[in-house]
């Protein structure tokens, strides 16, 4: 089982903890990471795009000009796609971009992301994450202590001091443990959380396979 150092908010090592090698030391499946990230980004698309076809645009109820004798091509309506203001041929219409990814694949993806960050020594575990007050400067200082350029702080939403203090940091992000996902782990270079949170994530991912 991989052993992780546990630090306090001052950046000093205070303990060590062992985490499951299956969750934090597993094989990094690059293809599954790609599948899950692709599905996550696709699901974020609104899919509300819409263009009007020739039957939906206004006007053009009568024939523009007579059929013969004009020297031009015959026309039936100014709503045709080749007219300015006409309908769009083969245009976009509302649709869902959601891509189905089953639970087992999502689990493998999350384990791969956690294992990748663990192998890079980019998972920072704290014995406690209590700021005492809402102070963005304190949170920024904490993140800097561990050399994180773009940190993902995983902490329960009940800890409002951390939630509100992290919210104002442009490059860093807060997420509750239940919302940890592949895209956000890969999109941030360092994962910061309490040791107890890491244990809870380990337990959740272990149970999901039973």
Q: For 63-98, write each residue's pLDDT tens digit.
A: 999 999 999 899 999 999 999 999 999 999 999 999
Q: Residue 192: beta bridge partners?
A: 124, 153
Band of pLDDT at residue 209, cut at 50, 70 and 90: low
Q: Mean of the pLDDT values across residues 28-51?
A: 96
Distance CA(205)–CA(202), nearest Å, equals 5
Nearest CA among 102, 106, 111 for reference residue 206: 111
Token digits for 165?
């203090």
Distance CA(56)–CA(209), nearest Å, equals 51
Distance CA(126)–CA(63), nearest Å, equals 75
Band of pLDDT at residue 207, cut at 50, 70 and 90: confident
* pLDDT tens column, 131-183: 889 999 999 999 999 999 999 999 999 999 999 999 989 999 999 999 999 99
Query: What are the extents of the domains in the chain?
Result: 3-30+101-207
Q: What percent of the chain clears pLDDT 70, i.e. is strictly above it?
A: 99
- CATH 3.30.70.980 applies to domain 3-30+101-207: no
């Amino acid at each position: 089982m991989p052993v992780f150092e546990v630090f306090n908010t001052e950046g000093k090592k205070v303990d060590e903890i062992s985490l499951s090698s299956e969750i934090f030391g597993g094989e990094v499946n690059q293809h599954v990471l790609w599948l899950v990230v692709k599905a996550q980004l696709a699901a974020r698309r609104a899919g509300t795009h819409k263009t009007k076809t020739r039957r939906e645009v206004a006007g053009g109820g009568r024939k523009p000009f007579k059929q013969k004798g004009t020297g031009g091509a015959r026309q039936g309506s100014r709503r045709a796609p080749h007219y300015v203001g006409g309908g769009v041929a083969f245009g976009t219409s509302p649709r869902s971009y959601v891509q189905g990814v089953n639970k087992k694949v999502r689990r493998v993806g999350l384990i791969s992301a956690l294992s990748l960050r663990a192998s890079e020594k980019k998972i920072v575990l704290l014995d406690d994450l209590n700021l005492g007050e809402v102070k963005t400067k304190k949170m920024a200082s904490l993140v800097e202590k561990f050399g994180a350029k773009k940190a993902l702080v995983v902490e329960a939403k009940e800890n409002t001091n951390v939630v509100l203090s992290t919210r104002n940091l442009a490059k860093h992000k807060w997420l509750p443990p239940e919302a940890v996902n592949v895209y956000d782990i890969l999109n941030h270079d360092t994962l910061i959380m309490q040791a107890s949170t890491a244990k809870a994530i380990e337990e959740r991912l272990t149970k999901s396979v039973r």
